[in-house]
Structures are given as C-alpha cells and as structure tokens.
Structure 1
C-alpha cells in the first residue's frame, strides 16, 4: 500500500521556507547533512524521508512528530488524522520519540532568539565561524549547524553554547541547564571515583568553597589587569603528559593484599579530549597508559630530567583512582601527588625555573558515596574509613612559585565519571579551554568557570562535586592559540 501522494503534496504546499528548514534540522540524526543540503522543497524532503524508510505506508509516526514539533497542529489533524493530545501521549512512551531531546532543545532555543540576539551570537562567533556563514540571511538554525560542523557544539558539548547564552540571554542558559538536569536524572549512569560498601560517611558534596582563583566576575580582572603574563610563544609551548590508568587487574590480583580497584571506563574519552585541546594549544602530547606506581615515577622522572629550556610550560594530566593526597598505579600501589609535583621544582628541574608547571588530577580525594546509587568511583576501594580533614588549602603544591594544580574534587570527596562521556571535571576543563583560550582568557578565570559548571551538576539530584584549584602562579597564565 503506497503512501497517499496527494496527502503529502497537500502538507508540503502548506509549509513555508522556515518550517522546511526546521524539519530538516530536526531530522539531522536520521538524514545526512550532505543529503539535506540539496533539498529545496518540502516535497523533496518527504521523498528523502521515504528513501530512508522514515515515512512508510502504515507508519507516519515520524512525520506526525515533525509536524507536532514545529507546531503545525492544523496539518497534523487535517491531513494525518492525529491531534496534539495524541502526540503528547505518544511521545511520553519510551523509545517513541525519533527527534532527539538535544536537537529539539536547539530548535526551541532558536524559536526564542530574536533578531537582535541572533546578531549578538554572530558577533561572538565571528572568530569561530567563517564570515561567509554569518551573513544577513543566516538563521539561528544555520548557526547551530555551523557550530556542529566546527566541533564546538554537540550533544555532549554544550559549554560554548552555554557561555554564549550566559553573555546574551540568561533565560536561554536556564533552558539548557534544565535540559541537562532532566537528562542526567533520566539516563546518566555516573561513576563517583570511589565505591564503598558501608552506609556511613558524608555525602559527596562540597562542604565549603574552593580556593578563590579569580575576581568576582569570571573573565573580569579589574584590579589585576596590571599583572605580567607568562611568556608563551615557543613552538611547541611544551609537553603535555597524560598518565591514563584504565585497567586495574594487577591491583585486583595483588598478593597478599588485593585491592578492589575497578577499571575506569570513560577515561579514554577524557584522554582524547585532553589530547585534542592541548594539541590546539601547541603542546606536544604524550600519553602513557595503565602504569604501575613505579612506572608513574619513572615517567615523571624522565620528564624531570629533560631539557625544557626551549619550552615555555609543562603540563601533566593524571587520570586514575585515588584517595586523599595520592593516586593509584594499576598495581594498587600509592603515589603521593606531592611527590609528582615536587619533581619539577627549580632545584629538581632547573630548566623549568620561572616557567608555569601545570597539573590536572582526575581522581577521588575521598571515598564517600551515597548508598544505593549505581555508580563507580575513582578511588575504587571498598574501604569505609574516611579522613575528616576539611582544609581547603592544597598541601600538594611545592612551596615555591609558578605551580598550578587543578584537582577534580575537594579533599575527602569523590568525583564522577560517565563510561560514555568521561568525567565531569576533565570534560568541563577541555570545553572551557577550547572556548576561552582563543579569547585570551587566563587559566584562573577558566578554572573559575569550570568550578561553576561542575558544581551545578548532580548525580541523582543529591550527590555534588566541587573541583579545587590551587596555585602559586606569580603572573597571568594565558595559552594563546596562534
């Protein structure tokens, strides 16, 4: 039984150019961009849907959903025999919606963006997108598509869009945050990086504020605008070392004291993001995977002994299980964080004297976990003992200048990781670096924005996370992209 051609023709004739553009945008998860770019008429769009099996004689559900999404209830009722109430009920059923929540969010945002606000988006994105794509005919949906092509917008990459909305229209930002909250409550399985069996212990929620690293307004340095800036012109800028521990089988097989350190799915997502960002920032990236404690020490010692005279910076990213003040090797042995940072003091690594030494540590600093939550943690032990030192000043930075240490979480607390999307902290860090470095923002302003984003997230609407940056920098640290 063929689909009534006349029925589709009537619908197509009723749709204007903007509505066709909306239908194409909402279909991007199902129809390739390349295919949709050639479509100029609604009837051709319906033909493409038929070719892809999205419209069939006995199943017009996708077409009905599309018309419902763009609020053409008149066509939905008169031509397809459905109604608003029927579609609302239908789309509540699991798996029935074919338009992704992410794409529908973008469409809804575009509907609320006025011409003046659209101009503001184009101005802010002037350095990110080709000028030919930001002409007077460019719609907000076109802007979203170009952002996706550029890699600065995606289902798991909303930071750039959120920052834009924060500057242009706060109500749009709230819409995005509501979407993220609903999404995390509905489908995210998170991994606080420490899992324990007892019912005791504090919630994984920050009991204080992180070390203050910037002025009251992120990105605004009224009182410190006179500060010098670290030289950052060498090519490459320096090396970014990634110590990435995923498989802890050696720890679980340890004799005589095996440790219940689980594997860390999702850590490679973080490593990929770090590699992408620091390569853009002109660093040489070296990743080392699944290191035992002694191997971590050996790798660090290799870079300590290197001659960094021709380089302007050193970066080390550590992705592993941990507890207060330490990270674990895959053999379950402990490595003090302070031991790793102290290796690069002026006395131990003279060629980095006066240059910024930057460490980012993704690991738990405690083992508190809300009972009954399906999560993993980056401490990974079944140990119920919890230290209660609540000082905010980090003890892991050498007592000399030019160090920056970004911790994923406060002392005593767990941090969260998604097997599919990576960790809250590293993903937020990479997204904010990617967005803010081209704008000349310094690292402390960026880390303040990371704190803000991560602190707004929650696991099961209860568990929270607050990163903790600490530093002895004496100048502004800016990573130029050119």
Structure 2
C-alpha cells in the first residue's frame, strides 16, 4: 500500500509536459506503440512495472527519470534522494538506463526557444507531413516523428546537425560533444573486447565500426520451421517429392537455445502455409523495433529457385520476405542489422568432393536433401546479412535425427565464438570451413555454405 500511495502521490504532482518527457526518455525501454495509449502517469508507471523497470524494492529508474526532467522536488520529497546523490550514482558505469542519445535529444528539446522551434519546423516541411508541424507540436513530438521517418537515429544525426547549425550553434555544440563522447566510448569498448578476446583480430575492433548491440532484449529472433508437408503432397501433385523435413526440430531447438543466450526474444512458428508465412512476416514488419538493436529471421523449409514453399506447397519469393524489412517498409529497423539464415537447397545437383590428403570430412550416410533454392534474395540496401546453407544449384544436407549440417554448425560456432567477441562474418567463415569438410559417402556429396551481406559495420553479439 505504501508503494501504491507513493506512485499515486507522484502521479498527482506530475504535469502533462512532465509525462511527455518521462515517456520520451523511456523510449528505449517502453515502445512507442505502447506509449501511444498512455495518457496518465499511473498508466506510465504500470508500463514500467510490466517491463521490470519499477518495483517496490527497485526505484532506480524512476529516480533517474525524475532527475533527468529536473523534478528534484519530487525526487527529494517522495523518494528521499537528491541531486548530488543522483549525480554520483549515474557516474557508476552501467548504472544509467536512459541512453546518451535519448538524453541528448531531450536536452535539445529543453534548450530550443519558441522562435527556433518554429524555424526548425519550417526547415522540416519537406521531410514531415504538414499536420505534424502545426503550432501545437512540441520539439519532442518533432524528434519522435523524425525517428519514425528514419531521418534521425544514433548513427543518423546529419539532418539534426544541419538544422541546428542554421538555428543555434550551441545546439550544434551539444550534438558534437555527444559524438565525441560516443567515439571515446567506442574506443574503450573496442579496447575491452580486444583485451578480453585474445584471438580477436584488431581490425574487428576499430572505433565506430561496430553496430550498437546493448538493448535488452537485443531484438526478435523469428524462426519459421516447416516440417510436415503432407498437405502439399496431397493438394499439389507436381511437387509430390516434398517429403516431411525430419530433423528440422533439432535445428529449431539449437537456434532457440543459442539466440536466447545471445539475449534475443525467440519466436517460433511451425508448419505454416504460404499465406500464413506472409501474414507472420507482415506482423513482424509492422512491429515497433525502436527499442531493439537487431532483427534475426531463420527460415527452415523446402524451396525452389528464388522461393520457399509453405506446407501447402504454395510458393513465396524469398526476396519478398527479406525486403519486407528495408528501411522504407520497417522504419524502426532502419540502420540496424537484419540477419536471415536460410536452410534449404539451391538446386538438385550434388557437389562432388575432391580428395585432399588432409580432408577427414565427417561421414553421415543417413542424410537427405532439401528442395531447390536460389541466392538472389538479399535487398540492395545496407545492413542486411543473408546466410545460405549452400551455394547456387546445389543441395544441402539434413540428418533426420540430428538436424542440418549448416544450422547445427552455425549454432555451435555462435555459442563458442560470440563470448570471445568474434564478429558474425568471421563466424560464418568458420562455419564454411567446417561444413565443407563434411562428406556424404552415399552420393559422394559435399556442401559449401555461402553468406551474402551489405553490412556497413562489424556485427558482434557480446555476452
């Protein structure tokens, strides 16, 4: 009851502009979609509790928020803290939950004058809809709209800097100070990775070359796992060769375990028809990923050239699925890495092995081939990674009991190498090496996975 009275007392003392500021500072933790329904402080406090950010024995984030919006009176009267105590507390590394980027934007919103805000809106008249630039729109509203449109982000400050330079040099100076501090933090973090990871190559740890990867959770790992193709064999006579994909559940479980350890929220969907796959992907495209750092999608199914099959035998172009997450179609993932792992063949040809004295490839006579598949499926824009099980025109192998060569190797290398700070391309190179050494004696077959990417930075999943 004391805790409830505390929250009630705070909610009574907070003005509407205070609530707007609290919501803005919490955007990395409470998504914009959830915030849109919050009209009262009590609802905001409830959202914090649902996210595990507020409890009777944990008031740290609430104290930080009140400190950030300069409500020292509430901090002192209701929470028994002070400005000096919070200043000392937030100097402790890792203690602050409001990101430096979010704090920078809030400071800009506080320091811009009424006339400067009018001018700022005028400068954005080509980028934002007119209805978002009326007299009632605050600077916080403008910044949120800029983020939604993809013209503002931690790695995308150019529009903000250009406009602030035209209005007020002191605003520009704050942004430049933030960029300088960020470069210093990048350098320190890279140095820590190099120090903790003896085998990490130095070029993987240069300042500014690593995607931000510190949100909790880091993002969604979507697994589309098709096993039962009985409906396809019954309803689509021309593809009666589509067998059930025995062993795929072993792959899905391995993916679930490793991406859970990598701090992703794993969502698995089994035995979807083509239309159900489209609907599922559309749902995740429309989701607000603003407080996430990455998106991963793993597709385990039969396929043909450039497509995958639903369990009903209907086709879906792979490019349709990957391009659903481009910056224009999924703004909250703009500038963030989008990773796709595809387990399927790219053809029906068996890749022949060449006898090499040091090649002691593993034998597995009980393997099957997934259906055909093709590579030209990665979007042209930046920040995509497509990991393919095999090169174009060739089969990939799946054990009916142990899963596929590619996915099992991928999961093992992710689990072993991510704690050492290795980046994803180095890990995929190691996967290539391991899978290429395996050997199907029955068909004298080999397999070579193939990554394709438009990443702009090193992608590392530190643990």
Of stretches 438-447 and 252-261 in structure 1, the one that deviates more from structure 2 is 252-261
Matched, 1:472 2:454: yes
Cα distance in structure 1, aligned partners of 2:236 and 2:403: 31
**1:305 corresponds to which residue?**
286
Higher RCO (Cα < 8 Å, 6 or more apart) = 1
**1:379 corresponds to which residue?**
371
Cα distance in structure 1, aligned partners of 2:205 and 2:351: 41
Q: CA RMSD in A?
A: 2.2
**For 1:51-76, what per-residue CA distance to the aligned partner results, in whole angstroms no more than 9, with x for missing partners?**
xxxxxxxxxxxxxxxxxxxxxxxxxx
Q: Compute the displacement of 1:225 (Å).
A: 4.0
**For 1:196-225, what per-residue CA distance to the aligned partner results, in whole angstroms no more than 9, with x for missing partners?**
xxxxxxxxxxxxxxxxxxxxxx95354884
Contact persistence 1:227–1:476 (CA under 8 A): no
Aligned partner of 2:273 among 277, 289, 292: 292
Runs of 4+ in 1 over 6 A off after TM superposition: none
Aligned partner of 1:335 among 299, 316, 319: 316
Q: 1:427 to 1:374 in 2, by over 3 A?
A: closer
Cα distance in structure 2, aligned partners of 1:256 and 1:416: 24
TM-score by length of 1: 0.50
Stretches of structure 1 lacking an aligned partner (at least 5 in a row): 1-217, 381-386
Q: 1:458 to 1:227 in 2, by over 3 A?
A: farther
Cα distance in structure 1, aligned partners of 2:416 and 2:221: 19
Where in structure 2 are the equivalents of 1:107-126 lying within 5 Å? none
Residue 266 of structure 2 aligns to a residue whose secondary structure is strand
Aligned partner of 1:415 among 387, 390, 396: 396
Matched, 1:278 2:270: no
Residue 386 of structure 2 aligns to a residue whose secondary structure is strand
Cα distance in structure 2, aligned partners of 1:283 and 1:351: 17
**1:445 corresponds to which residue?**
426
Residue 369 of structure 2 aligns to a residue whose secondary structure is coil
Q: Compute the displacement of 1:313 (Å).
A: 0.4
Aligned partner of 2:409 among 403, 428, 448: 428
Q: Compute the displacement of 1:333 (Å).
A: 1.2
Q: 1:353 to 1:435 in 2, by over 3 A?
A: same
Matched, 1:243 2:235: no
Stretches of structure 2 lacking an aligned partner (at least 5 in a row): 1-198, 353-364
More helix by share: 2
Contact persistence 2:274–2:309 (CA under 8 A): yes
Residue 451 of structure 1 aligns to a residue whose secondary structure is helix
Q: 1:464 to 1:311 in 2, by over 3 A?
A: same
Cα distance in structure 1, aligned partners of 2:288 and 2:215: 14
Contact persistence 1:323–1:412 (CA under 8 A): no
Cα distance in structure 2, aligned partners of 1:313 and 1:370: 34
Aligned length in residues: 252
